Amino acid sequence: MNEKFSLDHLRHSTQPVILDFSASWCIPCRALEGAVRRVEEEYQGRVQVNRIDVDEDPEIAKALGVYGIPTLVAVHDGKEIARRTGSMSTTALSGLFDAALTGIQPAASGPTPRSRLLRLAAGIFLLFAGFILFPSTWAFLLAGLGAVVLFTAVYDRCPVYRMVTARARDFLNRKSLNETRG
């Protein structure tokens, strides 16, 4: 896009838009860039992608509540439909582009708020039990189990986990595609 992006342009846009918030120094942003460009090519002419450098346009990021990068925001008829922060698979990216195109929010990923709260409570209890109530050789097992349960409550928000699983999914998809061809 040659002209400078503005929020007014976004509000009045009738074309589906993906806002790609990143920065030149951001390593996860650079890692995601190739996948975004591949998916962008698939949706060329149907979904407009606007890349916004948060260092150059901090007011746009602030106005839209972008506090972490990379963040992609799907906009349909001037309204935000979906938002994803961190690394993601090409399947998740395609879902975001579909959301911008159709105006239908993609299926939620990760635990529900109630499930997240229960997992946090159970994980804290197990950690507490492991370190305080039962100081024995089983304490490490309970504490480790508590840490795993805690992680299951927040795994979907962990950028390292998301980057690793996205890369693994893409690798396995390419591998299975190559096996079916050859």
- Which residues are annotated as catalytic? 26, 29
Give the residue from 112, 78, 88 showing the smallest Cα distance to 39: 88
Q: Measured between alpha carbons, how far is residue 134 from residues 120, 122, 150 in Å?
A: 20, 16, 19
Beta partners for residue 21, in sequence order: 52, 71
Q: How many whole angstroms separate alpha carbon 163 and alpha carbon 124?
A: 26
Cis amide leading into 106 (omega within 30): no
Task: Supply 121's token pair.
Answer: 């409570």
Beta strands in the chain (DSSP E): 17-22, 48-53, 71-76, 79-85
Which residues are paired to 84 by β-bridges? 72
